[in-house]
Chains A and B, each alone.
Chain A
Amino acid sequence: EAQVTQNPRYLITVTGKKLTVTCSQNMNHEYMSWYRQDPGLGLRQIYYSMNVEVTDKGDVPEGYKVSRKEKRNFPLILESPSPNQTSLYFCASTVRGGRDEQYFGPGTRLTVT
């Protein structure tokens, strides 16, 4: 089944404790993104990757890191999480870019206390 998987689905952590949210897709897509969803703010892009080893900042990259060592995986790293990073996070993949259908993962609900 074609899908985007994210882990964990739920995470509660404390300020400053490094964490990684994994994302994997099995559709051989070139383009992958991370979004955060907050009430009243919609979906905002954090980082994106147009191909392996190519990543770039989205609209809200502060406090986040990503890497794209393999085509299928695109982990999101929070080196020192803060409470304002409490949010619902989505990974998405698409064949090449913005004009192709984006396939979203199931989401990761992160709470930073």
Chain B
Amino acid sequence: QQQVKQSPQSLIVQKGGISIINCAYENTAFDYFPWYQQFPGKGPALLIAIRPDVSEKKEGRFTISFNKSAKQFSLHIMDSQPGDSATYFCAARLKYPDKLIFGTGTRLQVFP
């Protein structure tokens, strides 16, 4: 019940295309949904986050879409660039105990 299911495991997109990564959860106690980006050899870094009272959040080319009734949220990367090639983790925050539950990660490769 505390799991966050992430798909796909890997994604190959051509430069300029749209990358879409999906996550699903069961626990309605989650109250915050961030996405982290990890480049090879580095630690993850916060990319964008959304609260469950908002259906969409956009920051530049990155958009989170949130569907509370379906318990799903997704990351859309518009005009994907080779520099976006990284591993992406969705996460969900549990209030009690206060912790983040991470998805299993998606390795994105953007080819020129």
Q: When A and B form their complex, what is the total count of cross-chain residue pairs whose Cβ atoms lie within 8 Å?
A: 58
- Bound Cα distance from A111 to B93, whole angstroms: 30
| Total chain B interface residues with beta-carbon distance under 8 A | 26
B54 to A: closest C-beta gap in Å? 14
Interface segment out of the listed B12-20, B72-80, B102-110: B102-110
Q: Looking at chain A, what size class is its interface with the partner chain?
A: 20 to 34
Residues in chain A near residue B42, CB distance under 8 A:
106-107
A56 lies within 8 A of B97 (CB)? yes
* Interface segment out of the listed A11-19, A40-48, A60-68: A40-48
Q: Which residues in B have some Cβ–Cβ distance to A below 8 Å?
A: 2, 6, 9, 31-32, 34, 36, 41-46, 89, 93-95, 97-105
| Listed A/B pairs (15) with beta-carbon separation below 8 Å | A31-B98, A33-B99, A40-B9, A42-B102, A42-B104, A43-B102, A50-B98, A92-B43, A98-B32, A98-B94, A98-B100, A99-B31, A99-B32, A102-B36, A102-B100
